Amino acid sequence: MKLLNHKTTQPIMTIKEWAAAYRADNEAEREELKIRLPQEKIEDSVRSYFALCELALAFSGSSDVPVELQEAREKHYADLANKWTLLAQRLKHAV
């Protein structure tokens, strides 16, 4: 079952199609790393590592968040996960 984009009514990829494309991208990246990393200088590798750490930190937010907010976020994410699970079950039975 393909879902439609609500704005354009164009079919969007299914989860299986997305996962297959994701696997293919990961495999291509893995092969590129096998070639590039043995030739890369240690300094460049360390710079890349810290750049990745900074990027991850930008997405993770602050670790100085009050406990109450952390608990509220955790509840929100758990609620979202439950909604997505319910939606997946309903779509599975709709097919």
- Residue of 6 and 58 predicted with greater confidence: 58
In this structure, the answer to whether residues 56 and 92 fall within a common structural domain is: no
Q: Which amino acid is at 28?
A: A
Q: How many domains, in total, are found in the chain?
A: 2
pLDDT for the residue numbered 14: 87
In this structure, the answer to whether residues 47 and 71 fall within a common structural domain is: no
- DSSP one-letter string for 31-76: HHHHHHGGGS-HHHHHHHHHHHHHHHHHHH--S---HHHHHHHHHH
Q: Name the pLDDT band for 7 (thresholds 50, 70, 90).
A: low
In this structure, the answer to whether residues 68 and 33 fall within a common structural domain is: no
Range of the domain at 12: 1-61
pLDDT higher than threshold 70 for residue 2: no
| pTM across the whole model | 0.41
- Cα separation, 24 vs 2, in Å, equals 20
| Sign of the dihedral through C-alpha 37, 18, 4, 83 | negative
46-65 pLDDT tens trace: 898 899 888 887 777 666 77
DSSP class of residue 15 equals H
